[in-house]
């Protein structure tokens, strides 16, 4: 019950006052199956891209973080080919930084920030990470190319 009312409240806030560049909605009336879109930030290789994400809310939410993954392929050191995201707020402590006080809006904003500022020191994709560190021009070129190929409308 607590989970359902909290999710309804969060979705209502996401609908009426969404963070800039982020939208989120229920997938086919399933309260625990959400979809989101994040617009690629200006001055990033993801600019003008529209990235779709899947959000699965666990039974124990908010005591357990939602599982979020990219449905749109993205060229990024912290996001793998299955769309999984390496981000501390998406994991429970001690390895992660999830807290029940966080919400879906905060998580989506954190993912948007990660897109703009990758963390090459905690990569899921080692090859992309070293490209980001040692050949940034090539990384930017590849990321732009993927954005045009997969995230353009």
Q: Is 24 a catalytic residue?
A: no
Q: What is the rounded distance in angstroms from the CA atom of residue 118 to the CA atom of residue 115? A: 6
Per-residue pLDDT of the chain (153 residues; tens, 9 = 90+): 688 999 999 999 999 999 999 999 999 888 899 999 999 999 999 999 999 999 999 999 999 999 999 999 999 999 999 999 999 999 999 999 999 999 999 999 999 999 999 999 999 999 999 999 999 999 999 999 999 999 997
Q: Map out the domains of the chain as residue ranges.
A: 1-151
3-class SS at 45? coil
Parallel/antiparallel/unpaired status of strands 30-39 and 67-70: unpaired
**Which CATH code fits 1-151?**
3.10.110.10
The reported pTM is 0.95
Map tokens 């529209």 to a residue.
50
Say what the pLDDT of residue 153 is: 78
Say what the pLDDT of residue 10 is: 96
Q: Is the dihedral of CA 144, 148, 150, 153 positive or negative?
A: positive
Q: Please provide the DSSP assignment of 12-71 as one string.
A: HHHHHSPPTTEEEEEETTEEEEEEEEEEPPTTSTTTT-EEEEEEE--TTTTSSPPEEEES
Q: How many residues does the chain have?
A: 153
Active-site residue among 79, 86, 107, 114? 86
């Amino acid at each position: 019950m607590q989970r359902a009312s909290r999710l309804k409240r969060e979705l209502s806030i996401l609908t009426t006052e969404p963070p800039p560049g982020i939208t989120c909605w229920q997938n086919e009336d399933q309260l625990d199956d959400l979809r989101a879109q994040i617009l690629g930030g200006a001055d990033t290789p993801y600019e003008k891209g529209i990235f779709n994400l899947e959000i699965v809310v666990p039974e124990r939410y908010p005591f357990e973080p939602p599982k979020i993954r990219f449905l749109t392929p993205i060229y990024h050191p912290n996001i793998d080919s299955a769309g999984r995201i390496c981000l501390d707020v998406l994991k429970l402590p001690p390895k992660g930084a999830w807290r029940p006080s966080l919400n879906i809006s905060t998580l989506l904003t954190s993912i948007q920030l990660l897109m703009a500022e990758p963390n090459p020191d905690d990569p899921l994709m080692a090859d992309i990470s070293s490209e980001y560190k040692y050949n940034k021009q090539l990384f930017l070129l590849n990321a732009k190319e993927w954005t045009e190929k997969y995230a353009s409308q």
